[in-house]
Amino acid sequence: MSLGYSEHPEATQERLQAILYYHRAQAGRGEDVANRFRSAIADVVASPGSWPLFPGWEGEPQVRSRKVAVYPYRVVYYVRDEIVVVAYAHVKRRPGYWSARLDG
């Protein structure tokens, strides 16, 4: 049985903003990054405990992340009764900014 997942509203906005950014940058790239996000989420849902703990995160809940192929993003999430995506974090911007989104 696989867990369901939800996204923090700010994570949803990050995902949509990234898709729009790449869509404007080059034809077809917005669709590509959207597909890469979907693939990363599918991997997380299929095996949520397989992805590494977020580097340097010591608190509860245990936060994990899955690299998004090709693009400089990580899907940042934790697991309770479901998988909760708290951020689609750019790997070189504002480390840990999403920590205020944890309800743990």
The per-residue pLDDT for range 55-87, each reduced to its tens digit, is 888 888 999 999 999 999 999 999 989 999 999
What whole-number distance in Å separates Cα of residue 88 and Cα of residue 68? 9
pLDDT band at 13 (very low <50, low <70, confident <90, very high): very high
What whole-number distance in Å separates Cα of residue 80 and Cα of residue 3? 9
CATH class, range 5-92: alpha beta
CA torsion through residues 63, 10, 36, 72, sign: negative
Structural domain boundaries in the chain: 5-92
The per-residue pLDDT for range 34-57, each reduced to its tens digit, is 999 999 999 999 999 999 998 888
